[in-house]
Amino acid sequence: MTTSPLDDLADQTQQLLSNIAALATIDDLRENEAAITGRRSVLSTLQKSLGVLAPEDRKDAGARLQEARRVVEGALEDRRQELRALARVEVLAHDRLDLGDVVVSAVQWPASVGHPNLVAITQRELEDVFVAMGFTVAEGPEVESDWYNFEALNIPPAHPARGMWDTFYVDLGEPETVVLRTHTSPTQIHLMEAAVAENALPIHSVMPGRCYRRDTPDPRHLATFHQIEGLVIDRGIAFADLAGVIETFTRAYFGPDIESRLRPGYFPFTEPSAEFEVTCTICRGEGCRTCSHTGWIELGGCGVVDPAVLAAVGIDSDEWSGFAFGFGIDRCAQMRHEIADMRALIENDVRFLEQFS
């Protein structure tokens, strides 16, 4: 009986399959792969030995060997997938976070819940004070045309008073024609225009909102801050009405212990004009860094509406007159809560902010 190199093929294949099954890790498999199916493997050696067979037997032997290789390579591939999956499971088990504590703390009570910033709280309190005095609340846009922010307020181009407001311009339309509003006073203009259009005078309104100036932040200034504008347009309004409203506001918001005063001031849109100041609550009037050692803090500007402004929106100043004011909301919060440096309001230090929930 003639012998063939493939006489032991079935056993050899079985042995290779056992070897493959015994591979324990993906690294194991990589190390042994060449020995199982590579150029020096049993299967490759058998392939080379087929040359000794008679040509009529070679074809059949070649087919058997190819089938054995297909089975072995298939088993190797299956094992590779199994070992990869095992390796992934191990990595996941290693990296697994034990969320037990986290879940427990998430349901602990009281949960830590955020709250509005002190400035938002102050805005609401100020609105409440004025609503109780009979004012309605209105809002206007933060991006304004030059006309609303300046011209309609009696501040024509190149007027020296423009220097009072260091302005951010928006890159829109003609240069320097669209601005981030520097104060809430342009909302007065919107309100008066609407009242004229709807024949809805008189006006008793406050208008809170965000303002922007190219001011360098310091203990009393931010580049983005908030004002609350007030406007009364009615028949027979005089400066004494303004003084009475400011006095009532000061008592209601700060209480009886705080002193306030009106000092002559200048605004192109009011005549006469005044600055409204309160005793510095940080030093109780002694003088400190916050009040630049004056003992007083300016909260806002105010005055009797200039007839030129009424004319710009088509209100007859023979029949109607009015007063206006604009207070800094951040300044009010600062003085009421005795905050030495306004920048603390925007620094997002939770330990500071948490005090004002």
Binding site for ligand FA5 (CB under 6 A): 183, 185, 213, 215, 221-222, 225, 227, 229, 267, 270, 273, 298-303, 324-326, 328, 330-331
What DSSP state is assigned to residue 215? P
Select 146 or 330, whichever has its Cβ closest to ligand FA5. Answer: 330
Instruction: Give me the least distance between CB of 357 and ligand FA5, in Å please.
Output: 23
The token pair that represents 313 in the structure block: 């929106």
Instruction: Give me the least distance between CB of 229 and ligand FA5, in Å please.
Output: 6
- CA-wise closest residue to 315 among 229, 235, 228: 235
Select 17 or 165, whichever has its Cβ closest to ligand FA5. Answer: 165
Select 43 or 150, whichever has its Cβ closest to ligand FA5. Answer: 150
Select 29 or 267, whichever has its Cβ closest to ligand FA5. Answer: 267
- How far apart, in Å, do the first and last CA atoms of the chain sit? 100
Instruction: Give me the least distance between CB of 314 and ligand FA5, in Å please.
Output: 20
Select 146 or 229, whichever has its Cβ closest to ligand FA5. Answer: 229
Instruction: Give me the least distance between CB of 204 and ligand FA5, in Å please.
Output: 15
DSSP state letters, 77-138: HHHHHHHHHHHHHHHHHHH----HHHHHHHT-SS-------HHHHHHHHHHHHHHHTT-EE-
What DSSP state is assigned to residue 24? -
Instruction: Give me the least distance between CB of 101 and ligand FA5, in Å please.
Output: 44
Residue found by looking up tokens 């409204």 in the block: 276
Instruction: Give me the least distance between CB of 116 and ligand FA5, in Å please.
Output: 19
Select 140 or 328, whichever has its Cβ closest to ligand FA5. Answer: 328
Residue 264 CA to its chain's centroid (Å): 40
Taking phi first (over 0 means left), then psi (-120 to 50 degrees means alpha), and beta for anything else, what does residue 288 get? beta
Select 7 or 247, whichever has its Cβ closest to ligand FA5. Answer: 247
Instruction: Give me the least distance between CB of 339 and ligand FA5, in Å please.
Output: 12
Report the half-sphere exposure of 270 (CA within 13 A, side-chain side).
26
Contact between residue 296 and residue 261 where contact means Cβ atoms under 8 Å apart: yes
Q: What's the CA gap between 269 and 266, in Å, rounded?
A: 9
- CA-wise closest residue to 267 among 233, 309, 295, 226: 309
